[in-house]
Amino acid sequence: MKMTLDAWGRSVDGQLIDRDGSAGAQCWDLWADYAERAVGVPIGWTYTVNRPGHPDHFLASSMFLFFPTPRVGDLSQYFVRVGRHEPAQAGDVAVWARSWSYPDTHIAVATGPAVDGMLPCWTQNPGATRHESLTTAGLLGYLRPIALIKPAASLAPKRRKQAQMFMVFYKHGNGPGKPGWLVMGTPRRLVLSSQAAADDIARQLGIGSSFVTNESGWAKFLRAAGPA
Residue 20 CA to residue 142 CA, distance in Å, equals 23
* Residues 112 and 170 both lie in one domain: no
The answer on 155 and 111 residing in a single domain is no
Mean pLDDT of the chain: 84
pLDDT of residue 204: 74
pTM: 0.69
Query: If phi over 0 gives left and psi between -120 and 50 gives alpha, with beta otherwise, what is residue 125?
Result: left
Residues 113 and 215 in one domain: no
Q: Which helix (H) or strand (E) holds 218?
A: helix 215-225
Number of domains in the chain: 2
Do 12 and 118 sit in the same domain of this protein?
A: yes
Q: Is the pLDDT of residue 161 over 60?
A: no
Do both 22 and 48 map to the same domain?
Answer: yes
Task: Judge whether residue 26 has pLDDT over 80.
Answer: yes
What is the tens place of the pLDDT at every residue in 203-220? Answer: 777 776 567 888 888 888
Query: Are 151 and 168 in contact, with CB atoms under 8 Å apart?
Result: no
Q: Measuring CA to CA, which residue among 147, 151, 223, 149 is closest to residue 184? A: 223
Last residue of a domain, one of 146, 164, 198: 146
> Which domain does 98 fall in, by range?
5-146
| Higher per-residue confidence, 153 vs 42 | 42
Residue-wise pLDDT for 188-202, tens only, equals 788 888 887 888 777
pLDDT in tens, 92-129: 999 999 888 888 899 999 999 999 999 999 999 999 99
Segment 163-176, tens digit of pLDDT: 467 888 888 989 88
- Dihedral angle sign, alpha carbons of residues 142, 126, 47, 49: positive
Highest mean pLDDT among 5-9, 49-53, 72-76: 5-9
Query: DSSP states of 62-90 as a string?
Result: HHHHTTT--SSS-GGGTEEEEETTSPP-T
Residues 126 and 154 in one domain: no
CA 118 centroid distance within chain: 18
